[in-house]
Amino acid sequence: MNLDKQDAGPLKGLLVLDLTRAVAGPFCTLMLGDLGARVIKVEEAEGGDETRHWGPPFVSGESAYFLALNRNKESVLLDLKEESGLAALHHLANAADVLVQNFRPGVMEKLGIGYATLKPANPRLVFASISGFGLTGPDRSRPGYDLIVQAMAGVLLANGASSSGVADPVKTCFPIADILAGQFASQAILAALLERQTTGQGNHIEVSLLEALLASMPNLSSSALTAKQDSIPNGPIHSSIVPYQVLKCRDAPVAVAVPNNRIWKRFCAALGQPHWREDERYSINQARHENRAELMAGIERVTMQKDAAEWLEIFDRHHIPSGPLLSVAQAFDHPQVLDREAVVTIEHPQLGPLRMVANPMRFEGRSTQYKHPPRLGENTEDILEEFCPSEVSASQKQ
């Protein structure tokens, strides 16, 4: 991937003040930084962002988790319990276009740096609050960790499998509520910035992990709300589409999706079972859903006769959506991922060459720029000298 240093990105000139830690907030500001915004990450001197300590794995003392979420940022140490730290933050907020925070509801207001306090000095400020459950409601102060949100949104049960009629809850392998909330927040920030071009005014926007997750399950949410049908433990199968799951082959499983009847007819041909196309038990998806157990047993009796690679070649020939089951490491070695240059190498002053996932957003004629994730407090002195009066800068350096 071309890393032309002259190309600063579509958000060049935008200043983002990042008062977030953990995952949802840093993922939001990561997206803005990758798009060219200048992101100043405010951290506490005692340990900084908690993800700096999440591991293993660590790479030469740096948390792999932290590295993944904090490139294209600068780190400044401020003690917000001290008057000098709050004064420095006010200077930064007055200069910022965007402030993103994920303190528990009410904390920013108690510190005197809530939106209502900052707005008069900087009416163009877009102030984004990310929380677990929202700024209002009986659970507003409940700690908003991804696992808890997945549990309360119904994901653990819907994602699990049923064993002897009892649901075995299963968490997603990555913090999906955090990532979705961060993505929704970045989208809301861009919308507020666009509106600001017309009104000249910023806004206070908020996103909760719980609502982000509920909004991201359209099939399950709609089934519960409109059809009064609650989710059941689905495990690796689809709740509505059959077949849309992993199939056993002679040596290894493959993933196969048959989302409509056109593909179903091709799938029957690929399996050498053309009579299934007109069988009333299987001819339409609703019938296949009603006869899922019998159908899947019949399908796997066929797929177990060949190896996975043979079936993938057959499915490709018949234009059946399918793919191998890969580990994450194997995915990065896949020819498609390599051809797309979906991994970039960034030079880190401590770690040397650092391989990272590229941002998936691409713009014609423009290359995303990448700067190493900052070491704790790496940019404190420079930032305070740039944005704060000399007396504030001097007190922070003591």
Give me the active site residues, please. 178
Name the token pair of 197: 């071009």
Of 241, 183, 237, nearest to 215 by C-alpha is 183
Of 19, 24, 22, 27, nearest to 360 by C-alpha is 27
Name the token pair of 12: 């060049």
Interacting residues of 218 by C-beta distance below 8 A, sequence separation 6+: none
Bridge partners (DSSP) of residue 16 are: 39, 98
Kindly provide the residue ranges of all beta strands, DSSP E only, lying in the chain, ordered along the sequence: 15-19, 38-43, 58-59, 62-63, 74-77, 98-101, 126-131, 161-163, 166-168, 203-208, 244-247, 254-257, 322-324, 343-348, 352-357
Of 301, 276, 285, 279, nearest to 243 by C-alpha is 285
Distance, CA of 76 to CA of 379 (rounded, Å): 5
CA 353 to chain centre: 24
Backbone angles phi, psi at 389, to 5 degrees: -60, 160
DSSP H/E element including 65 = helix 64-69
Q: Which residues of 243-270 are buried (b: 16+ CB within 10 A; e: fewer)?
A: bbbebebeeebbbbbbeeeebbbbbbeb
Distance, CA of 314 to CA of 308 (rounded, Å): 10
Distance, CA of 4 to CA of 388 (rounded, Å): 32
